[in-house]
């Protein structure tokens, strides 16, 4: 009995796959027309590919590949696309109603993004946050606040790609190829780091960079619980009463392999108790006098970090 049921399932699966392939083939001409019409409407030369068409009674649901999301979708485009696709139905499917339209399991209506405006205000979008939380992750004491600028805003900014280790070549190399006597990984950050980031910070924003911000090779890590000697010489002292606040940043090894995570360890974060006048102090020994970038580390964006940074060279 089990063999009979399994055989029937295989037969039905094969029949369904054959039916799917036949329906998709029937809509090839419609997809070719959509390619041309979408290019004319959006100015983007893409390639619309139909993956499957599912029948639900007298309704047809369309499943496109992610190529449909390559186009810029604006307000009114989903309605136009539905109307155009329905008009392109082959004669044998004219009696069917158009159901849902998906691209990689996402409804095409969710692809809509607002057009860029020139009013100085952000465009309305379903992704907009009406009352954003503008508490700072890090607050530098003594700086100006720009309420109508970017104060309280947090911007995650990537200055292109970095280096990766090529196992086949057995060396570190840039992720992007050489082009016009430079590489994207270096050219982009040549103006992002010295110009774009300071411009955003001067307007009040707090900029988070996943890649290293300081391009010099000298580095010192100062940790209240200590760190490996490979990361330079530093000491720590604190004033007032503190207690353990949970996991925090740690750099305990000179080299990390496999899936080891150097970012957090338990009981490595301090929490001040009582007055805000209680302060920690980090002392570092640096080989040469450079313009240093101080990068404080905190566990959660909900934990506000107040800081007054002062550097002195001895």
> Are 263 and 246 in the same domain?
yes
Q: Rounded CA gap, 175 and 170, in Å? A: 14
Nearest CA to 246 among 261, 222, 260, 225? 225
Of the three residues 111, 146, 169, the one that is the final residue of a domain is 111
Q: State residue 306's pLDDT score.
A: 45
Q: Say if 195 falls within a structural domain.
A: yes
DSSP 69-121: GGSPB-TTHHHHHHHHHHHT--GGGTTSEEEEEEETTEEGGGGB-PPP-SSSS
Q: Say if 147 falls within a structural domain.
A: yes
Q: State pLDDT tens for residues 78-91.
A: 999 999 999 999 99
Q: State pLDDT tens for residues 167-194.
A: 888 888 888 878 888 888 888 888 898 8
> Are 204 and 220 in the same domain?
no
Residue 11: pLDDT band by 50, 70, 90 thresholds? very low
Q: Rounded CA gap, 30 and 62, in Å? A: 12
> Are 250 and 305 in the same domain?
yes
Q: State residue 93's pLDDT score.
A: 92
Of the three residues 189, 208, 227, the one that is the final residue of a domain is 208
Fill in the DSSP letter of residue 248: B
Its pTM stands at: 0.53
Q: Contact 110/67 with Cβ under 8 angstroms? A: no
Stronger pLDDT, 296 or 304, i.e. the higher one: 296
Mean pLDDT, the chain, rounded, equals: 76
As for how many domains the chain has, the answer is 3
Q: State residue 6's pLDDT score.
A: 45
pLDDT above 70 for 29: yes
> Are 204 and 231 in the same domain?
no
Q: Percentage of the chain with pLDDT > 90?
A: 19
pLDDT above 50 for 7: no
Q: Percentage of the chain with pLDDT > 70?
A: 69
Residue 1: pLDDT band by 50, 70, 90 thresholds? low
Query: In terms of C-beta density within 10 A (0-12 exposed, 13-18 middle, 19 or more buried), how is residue 75 classed?
Result: exposed
Q: Say if 130 falls within a structural domain.
A: no
Distance of CA 285 to the CA centre of its chain: 35
Weakest-pLDDT range from 3-12, 75-84, 133-142, 143-152: 3-12
Mean pLDDT for the stretch of residues 135-164: 79
Pick the most confident of 40-44, 271-275, 303-307: 40-44
Of the three residues 152, 175, 208, the one that is the final residue of a domain is 208
Weakest-pLDDT range from 72-81, 186-195, 303-312: 303-312
Q: State residue 210's pLDDT score.
A: 81
Domain that holds residue 42: 2-111
């Amino acid at each position: 009995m089990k063999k009979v049921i399994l055989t029937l399932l295989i037969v039905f699966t094969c029949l369904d796959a054959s039916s799917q392939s036949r329906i998709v083939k029937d809509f090839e001409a419609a997809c070719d027309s959509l390619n041309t019409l979408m290019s004319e409407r959006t100015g983007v030369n893409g390639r619309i590919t139909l993956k499957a068409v599912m029948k639900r009674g007298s309704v047809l649901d369309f499943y496109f590949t992610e190529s449909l999301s390559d186009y810029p979708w604006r307000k009114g485009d989903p309605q136009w696309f539905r109307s155009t696709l329905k008009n392109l139905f082959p004669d044998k499917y004219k009696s069917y109603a158009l159901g849902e339209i998906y691209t990689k399991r996402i409804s095409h209506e969710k692809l809509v993004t607002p057009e860029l405006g020139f009013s100085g205000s952000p465009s309305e979008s379903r992704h907009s946050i009406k009352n954003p939380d503008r508490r700072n992750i890090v607050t530098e004491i003594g700086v100006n606040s720009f309420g109508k600028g970017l104060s309280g805003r947090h911007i995650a900014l990537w200055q292109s790609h970095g280096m990766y280790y090529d196992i086949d070549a057995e060396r570190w190399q840039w992720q992007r190829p050489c082009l016009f006597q430079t590489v994207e990984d270096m050219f982009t950050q040549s103006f992002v780091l010295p110009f774009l980031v300071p411009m955003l910070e001067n307007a009040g924003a707090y900029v988070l960079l996943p890649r290293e911000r300081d391009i010099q090779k000298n580095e010192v890590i100062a940790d209240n619980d200590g760190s490996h000697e490979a990361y330079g010489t530093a000491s720590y002292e604190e004033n007032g009463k503190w207690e353990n606040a949970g996991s925090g940043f740690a750099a305990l090894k000179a080299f990390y392999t496999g899936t080891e995570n150097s970012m957090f360890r338990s009981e490595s974060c301090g929490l001040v108790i009582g007055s805000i006048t209680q302060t920690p102090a980090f002392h570092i020994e640096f080989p040469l006098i450079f313009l240093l970038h101080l990068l404080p580390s905190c566990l959660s964006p909900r934990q506000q970090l107040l800081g007054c940074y002062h550097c002195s060279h001895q």
